[in-house]
Amino acid sequence: MSSSFTHSSLWIEPWLDIMTEENGYDPRSRYVEQFWLGVIGPTAAWLMRYIAHELEKRPDGFELWVSATALQLGISPKAGPRGGLHRTFQRLVMFRLAAEGHASYAIRRRLPPLNHSQLRRLPKHLQRSHSAHHPLTPAGMA
């Protein structure tokens, strides 16, 4: 069980990555909605959007209340590894959109372009759309 979820709140801070900051996409963008959504799932996408709004107001970081945030996202406020918010944060960590610390997470303010492996998970029509509008992934981003 992650020690982060033994607390009623988590500290959220920005994950500063110059390459992604320059070439990435705001979590509230059409790109994330159209392409990342099918990779990370709707709850993780909404959590990224929520955190983007909060980091806009408090760029150095903020305290996220676990139960209240889970309920706001429409997921179980249950604590521990079976709780909805814990699983959602673990999904963000799995896709390198978040990094976990003790009672804290560093979250990317911008999402990188999809890499080739992630792109292959999407339906063919989205793969074609991505190729037409975003032909090359910047070097080092995949």
Share of the chain above pLDDT 90, in %: 64
Cα–chain center distance at 10: 15
pLDDT in tens, 128-142: 888 887 765 544 443
Residue with more model confidence, 55 or 80: 55
Q: In terms of residues, how long is the chain?
A: 142
What one-letter code names the amino acid at 23?
Answer: N
**H or E element: which one contains 107?**
strand 104-108
Q: Is residue 101 very low, low, confident or very high in pLDDT (cuts 50, 70, 90)? A: confident
**pLDDT in the model for residue 7:** 63
Residue 5 has pLDDT above 60, yes or no: no
| DSSP assignments along 17-84, one per residue | -HHHHHH-B-TTSHHIIIIIHHHH-HHHHHHHHHHHHHHHH-TT-EEEEHHHHHHHHTS----STTSH
